[in-house]
Amino acid sequence: MRMRLTIFNSKFSTAIRPSASAWVCPSCILRSAPRRRIANVATRDKPYYLSTPIFYVNAAPHVGHLYTMVLADIIKRWQILQGKKVILSTGTDEHGMKIQQAAWKAGNDPKSFCDEGADVFKTLAARADVSHDHFVRTTDANHKEAVQYAWRLLRDRGYIYASKHEGWYSVSDETFYPQSGVHLVLEPSTGRKMMASIETGKEVEWTSETNYHFRLSAFKSQLLDFYDQNPGWVIPNTRMQDVVQQVLQGLEDLSVSRPTERLSWGIRVPDDESQTIYVWLDALLNYATIIGYPWTPGYERLAGWPVDLHVIGKDIVRFHCIYWPAFLMALDLPLPNRVLTTAHWTLGRQKMAKSTGNVVNPFFAIDRFGVDAMRYYLAHDGAITDDSDYSNEYIIERYKKGLQNGLGNLASRVLRGKSWNVQESIQTTRYRIINDDPPGEFSRKQWALLRDLPNTVKTHMEECQVGQALKVVMDAVYQGNKYLHHAAPWYHVPPSPTHNPNTHMNVPPEFKQSPEDAEYVNTCIFICAETLRLVGILLQPYMPTKSNQLLDMLGVDTTRRAFEYAHVGADGDYGQPNVDLGKGHKGALFPPLSSES
């Protein structure tokens, strides 16, 4: 049965009425749809697909963008550690009134403005060691074609109609707000009275125009049913409940186009050059278009669909958790499996904003502290539920405690020790204690912690608790240092001619090592080496470069760095360093920071 676009406003119908030849049956549309190269055609397994949001290019990136990228990359690398094929997409959102105005203000044409902005975000991803597989730009030709294809499907299925729309519109948020969603405020910098969104604080203006609408209200029951069947769909649960409450309160149909006379920078509505597709309908489809939508029927799983995990900020939950699933339902596409929503970063307990200059330049931060230290800090202090406050002092504190004096210190004390041979300790001890508890209270405690470590970390990662998983790993480091201090193997080895008298305090020069002493030392060094090996494997998603350096220092073969080897005793052929361990700060895993101010 042919479904026609419904025209509600007779005055407007002349301007936007589709031509008589505009209607095309869905099967014909599919046959004539833009073709994409299908990913992974050689395998029947669906790759794990996760995404960051695509970022607006109207302003330079800040630390919040860096955090989202790094968080998604950590999750990707964790999945690879499990042996999975993984796809990570990121990119830039380049259409809409905000971009159009920013380009004009910069005295540039929109496309050149977007090219420059996209390059900045690509550079940030590279600098942050973000291993993305796709970088989408909404100005790409294949994206435009696929968005227009999806529009035709929505229109011909009766989900899009034309009508007059009035409401409070925020250019910054690229969305309309109802009267209940705005209030009168004083602009802090000027004292000017203005109407602003209660949710975001951004200025709104009254707009009356005739455009196309999507029947969002028709999906209330379907959305609620989906939420009920998937109670953990949004992480954390507090935001899941917020989404449910918003839908329970009712949904208004969504304006999904803007008059070209107001917004020329965007994708035109098919068969109607007087209208530009709403930026969020355009942008959200990137997750499908970047992996080849529209697919040949049956191939969407090979390309990676549906998305396994969206990683987004809390400010765009409504778009991703209400609008996006409704669009997908209307297009008859499977919904994403999960949505991880993060809290924001503040600076001086104040929201970061370009307008006030209260922002952190991520490039400067990486230059100052190093990429692995920044990734560690963001994962450690970044929050999912509550906002986190960014501070250089916190970065220095985390570096000193966790990396320099924690992991770096343990590696140096064990691997640079002159009174024992790490490889010999591993080979003589591994089979002796692998199935039995080692002797001694401190040894048994550290060994038990290591036995539980990989599964504990895995449990947290499966729940997207990236920060908590990191803290569990670092606890193994802290406990490893305490264990080494209490075990004090240096008291059980004869002092060498070059010994440090402080290290061998109370050890007489004529000390002769007994077999029991040798066994004690080997047990202690093996447990410490296993601590470093397991930690090195599990930290690879967080700090790729430093973790590989640590594993090289341990002499762990590159083929034995997957999660299956992150278990006590799983590898007995390491202990001979692959790199020069150096002396002093040279060769140290985490040398002192050049500047701590």
What is the model's pTM?
0.86
The predicted-structure confidence for 213-260, as pLDDT tens digits, reads as follows 999 999 999 999 999 999 999 999 999 999 999 999 999 999 999 999
CA–CA distance, 582 with 575 (Å, rounded to integer): 16
Q: Which residues pair with 211 in a beta bridge?
A: 163
User: Structural domain boundaries of the chain?
Assistant: 45-159+219-367, 391-565
Q: Which fold has domain 391-565?
A: Isoleucyl-tRNA Synthetase; Domain 1 (1.10.730)
Q: Show the CA angle centred on residue 401, arms to residues 576 and 341, nearest 5°.
A: 100
The predicted-structure confidence for 378-409, as pLDDT tens digits, reads as follows 999 999 999 999 999 999 999 999 999 999 99
Q: CB atoms < 10 A from the CB of 520, how many?
A: 22
Is residue 371 predicted with pLDDT exceeding 50? Answer: yes
The predicted-structure confidence for 118-162, as pLDDT tens digits, reads as follows 999 999 999 999 999 999 999 999 999 999 999 999 999 999 999
CA–CA distance, 115 with 314 (Å, rounded to integer): 27
* Spatial contact of 258 and 209, defined as CB atoms under 8 Å apart: yes
CA-wise closest residue to 127 among 53, 66, 51, 58: 66
Intra-chain end-to-end CA distance of the chain, in Å: 71
* Spatial contact of 114 and 137, defined as CB atoms under 8 Å apart: yes
pLDDT for the residue 21 = 33
Please report which confidence band the pLDDT of residue 503 belongs to, taking 50, 70 and 90 as the band edges. low
| Bond preceding residue 61 cis, omega within 30 of 0 | no
CA–CA distance, 37 with 295 (Å, rounded to integer): 9
pLDDT for the residue 27 = 40
Q: Which CATH superfamily is domain 45-159+219-367 in?
A: HUPs (3.40.50.620)
